[in-house]
Structure 1
């Protein structure tokens, strides 16, 4: 199809304007052109100081190396993320323990929670919260000695069995003087999937929960969540 004069002029004008668009970044070729132009237009009676020129070259060299290093790091992080996701597939079907306070109540019972005391205390309570952050149950725990203990909520309060879903737990420990003692908590759950979010490898747990791969502290043989823990008990 023949091209009209108007179409040809418009096409030529578009290419010319595209070529005239200013660059947002200067590359090494642009830097060398600027340096060559500077040398060609300098005052012959007062040339650029050698030390100043060497300094400019050193700055450009450092900038180029940092740019290359940044590009290499991004590529490496992408590759490492893919490797982490691939290798983490081995976690699927296994139970993991990681820092957190979310528990899941399913048809087989509730997922266990591990709490750690830095010293012996007089009392420990576990407060169970629903999705609206309201306390739906409180359990008095028997594990009050220094170290790690396990608590598995029975999913029942004074009104009866609570619906299945996701809950959270907060621990209240006090010494013999009634002073609050800090309690560390970890949650457990079976891994159902692996995803990558914002460069981080995330393990998806039963009940819609998720934990970062780097936060995993222990991997355990898979077991039913309603199995009792030896030497531990809790009363609601």
Structure 2
């Protein structure tokens, strides 16, 4: 990339899809959202090269925001449940993508990046993503709280949130039964956190067909990209 422009390449890594778009500092999309299927297996260099190919089709950018489905810290991946933790543990994804694409990069959990694109900034707000697995993010008055990896915490009959709400559960039990799981988790999370508002995001949120409480709503899935602007609002 030699011709730089003031834009952010927002990257949303998913267990089934790799998505990206260039956004401005307010989170507005400058380019069309692009999606390709996630390769399987998907070791780090395969993912990096996939995004290098996607980025080449987009307008110029001078920063990169990455939302990753797992525990991340200081630019490195600690866990990658849906991509293979054994392949990813300790991988410096931010530095590697920065070097490959020629722009500084910041890395955050994917549910947290989506939350930045959704929350109002008032009270205790929670994001629950329903995709290949389940992801969560918690905000208080717009500030991100420490990450809780609820996806791997037991929720019912020794099943984790990932196993109870993920795509495998949807395919095994069917839409109606899976919706009962979603309803149960909505109730459990309220007992646990007494959130002011809960947002349901992720690719499978479109299958939610239960009557939602007044303080629970479906979120725009593009927030997984537009939330990337928030990563560059602070030094």
Which TM-score bucket, shorter chain as reference?
Answer: under 0.3
* Structure whose CA Rg is larger: 1
TM-score (norm 1): 0.23
- Could you say which structure has the higher strand fraction? 1
Length-normalised TM-score, structure 2: 0.23
